[in-house]
Amino acid sequence: MQPYNKDGIPRAYSMTDADAIHRNVEDEFGTIVEKTTPVAADKFLIEDSADSWQKKYVEITNLPGGAPADNSVTNAKLADMAQDTIKGRISSGTGDPADLTPTQVRTMVNVEDGADVTDATNVAAAGAVMDSDISEAEGFLRKTGAGAYEAIKTNLGASTAPGVNDDDTAGYAVGSVWIDTTADSAYVCLDDTTGAAVWTETTQAGGGGGETNTASNVGSGADIFKQKTGSDLEFRGVSSANNRLTSAVNADNVELTLVEANIDHDALANHDAAQHRIINDSGTSLTELWSANKIDAEFDLVDAAIAAVQSDVDANEVVTDAHAAATAAHGATGAVVGTTNAQTLTNKTLTAPTIGDLSNATHDHSDAANGGTLPTGSIPDGGDATAIHDDTAGEVAAIALKATPVSGDILLIEDSADSNNKKRITVGTLPTGGGGEANTASSVGTGVSVYKQKTGVDIELNAIKSENNRLTVALDAGTNDIELTVNEANIDHDALANYAANEHFTEASIDHDNITNNGTNTHAQIDTHISATAAHGATGAVMGTTNAQTVTNKNMLGSGNRFRGQASFTIEDPGASEDVSWITVDRAVTITKMHAYLRGSSTPSVTWTVRHGTDPSATGNEVVTGGTTTTVTGSIQSITTFNDETVASDSALWVETTAQGGTVDSLHITVFYDED
C-alpha cells in the first residue's frame, strides 16, 4: 500500500510547502503579519517537554509566570491615558486600575482643592503650627486648649532687669522669662498689663541668710504698693485729684486735709436752695436767721455779762494772791519747803531716802563732821554680780533668750576699724552674709510719699491720718482697706467756696411771671403741643423711636439702619466633598433666598449645602437640611424654603458638597439676606 501524507497525497509525490515553518530556514517569522497587542486567549505552538516533545498549543494566559518580568514594562506599553489623570482605583473592592481625575485623587487622599502646606488656614485647620505663628524673635509655645497655642516671648540675653513697660505692647505675656546676664538674675512675668507689668525675680539666693522681700495689697481699695523692680519695692504716692483735699507728710504720717474753702457749696450732693434760711434780724421763727451784725450785738450783751462776773472773780483773786505769796504758812516754822527751792533742812529725819548723786559731796563720812559714818556693808565694794566678764563662762547663756530679734534691737560690738572701741549697732544694720537681698523702697508717684525710710531691714511707711474732722481715716480689719470717709456733718456750710448768703431762697419766693425768658406760651399751650401726634410741619404722625408705624417716601441713611445684602461664591471644578469657607457677618441676619447654577457638560450634577455658625471648625447649622442638588446649566435655580435660615451675629458661612456627577466646570451660589 502506497503511503500517503496528511493531505491524502502519496508520499512519493510530496513537494515543498512555501508557507511552512522550517527548523533550518532563517527569517521565516518576519514574513508573517504582526499582532502588536496580543490578548490572553491567543494561542501559540509548543513542544511539550513533559510528553516526549509532542507538539501542542497553549493560550497566552496560561503561560508560566504570566506577569512580565520586573522592570520590563515601559510606559509606552501601558494603555493611553487622558490628560491630568492618574492610574489608581477608587471603586470598592479589588479590581482593575482606572484613570483617576484630580477630584477623585483629592477624595482618596482627603486633600481640598488648592491645598497648600504653607498656607496658614490649611495648617491651622490641620491643628499644626507654622513658624510664622510666632511673631517674636525668640520664645516658646504654650498649649492653651485643644488645637490652640500661644507664643510666649522671652528675653534670655538682657543686660538690665525688666520694668513696668516690658508689657503686652512689647510682646511679653504672663509666663514670659527674662534673664539679666549682667546681674545673673532671672525673672518671670506675673502681669503683662500695659504700663504696669509685674515681674518677679526667681533667682535662688545663695550663701544663706538674708531675705527676699515681697509686698502686696491685701485690701479692695486703691493699691499703695505698685511693683517690685529688681530688689526695690515701689510704693505709690498719695495725692488729691483736685484742691478739695490736700496731702502732706508730717513726721511719720501722711496727713489728708479736707479744705472747705475749695468745696463748692452749690455743687454738693442733695443741695436744695429751698432749704436755706432767710436772713431777718427781727425774725423769731425757725426758718429765719440773724445777720452777722445782729449776732455781734447779741454777743456784746453776753460779753458785758461775763465782764461783770470777771470783776467779782478778780476781787477774790487779790486775797488768794496774798496767801500764795506768804513764805511761812499753814503752821510751818520757817519757810515752806518746795520741790526745787535751794534750802537747808534742819531737824529732819529722812526715812529710806533715794540720793541721786553724791558727786558734789565734800565729805567722806569718816565722822559726824564729814557726813556721819556709814554702816558696814552699805557701800558696794565695786564688784558687780550682774556684769559680763571676759574670763567667766556661761554668763551670756544665763540671760533670757529673745527668740525673734527685730531690726531695732541693739548689739554691742568692738569696732575693728576704730582700735576695737566698744560701740553699739542695730540688728537691722548687720551685713546679710552674702545671700538674700538688701531691699530698698521708694515712692514712684507725684503725691505725698507713703514710704518714709528704711531703718535696718525695716521698711517704714508713713501712717495716713486726717488733720480735721471733715475726713475720717480708718482701717477695716476685715477687708484690710484703709477707708477714707468725708463727713458732711462736719463741713461748715458757710465756709464753702462761692457761698453767698443772699443767693439762698425758697421756692415760695419765686414769681414765675418775673422769671427772665419765661416765654409767651402758657403751660396749657405747651402741654397741648407735647400731646399732639402731628406737629412741626410733619405730614402724618410724628415718628417715635419705638412706635409701630409705616414709613413711606423716606431714604434711610446711616450705619444704624437695617440693611439687605447678598454674597456670591464660585467653586471651580467642584468635587464630591468640597468644604470651602465663604463669608462672615458682624450682625444677625436672616437668609431670604439662594440662587445656584452650573457650568458643565455630560449631565452635570452637584449636591451642595450652606452651613453657618460661630465656630467654623464645628458642624454648623444647615440652611437646607440634606442640601440641594443643582443640575441646571441654562437657567438659575432659586431656593426659598429653608430649615435654618437665621444666622447669629459674628458667624461664618461656608459651602460643602456631598455628591458630583458628569463633567462640572463650576458651581455658582448667591445668598440673599436681611439684617434682623
148-162, 365-379, 471-485 — which is least confidently predicted?
Answer: 365-379
Copy the grid coordinates of residue 155: 528675653
What's the pLDDT tens digit per position in 10-51?
A: 544 444 556 666 656 666 666 677 777 777 777 777 778 888
Q: What is the mean pLDDT of residues 180-196?
A: 93
Q: What is the pLDDT of residue 28?
A: 62
How far is 649 from 618, CA to CA, in rounded Å? 16
How far is 346 from 12, CA to CA, in rounded Å? 198
Closest CA to 212 of 454, 437, 430: 437
What's the pLDDT tens digit per position in 109-129?
A: 888 787 776 676 666 666 666
How far is 247 from 463, CA to CA, in rounded Å? 12
What's the pLDDT tens digit per position in 527-579?
A: 777 777 666 666 666 776 677 777 666 655 545 556 788 888 899 999 999 99
**Three-class DSSP category at 123:** helix
Q: What is the pLDDT of residue 479?
A: 86
Specify the pairing of strand 288-289 against strand 410-415: unpaired
Please calculate the CA angle 208-214-219 and round it to the nearest 5 degrees.
150
How far is 39 from 634, CA to CA, in rounded Å? 46
Specify the pairing of strand 589-613 against strand 481-486: unpaired
Copy the grid coordinates of residue 191: 502681669
Q: What is the mean pLDDT of residues 250-276?
A: 81
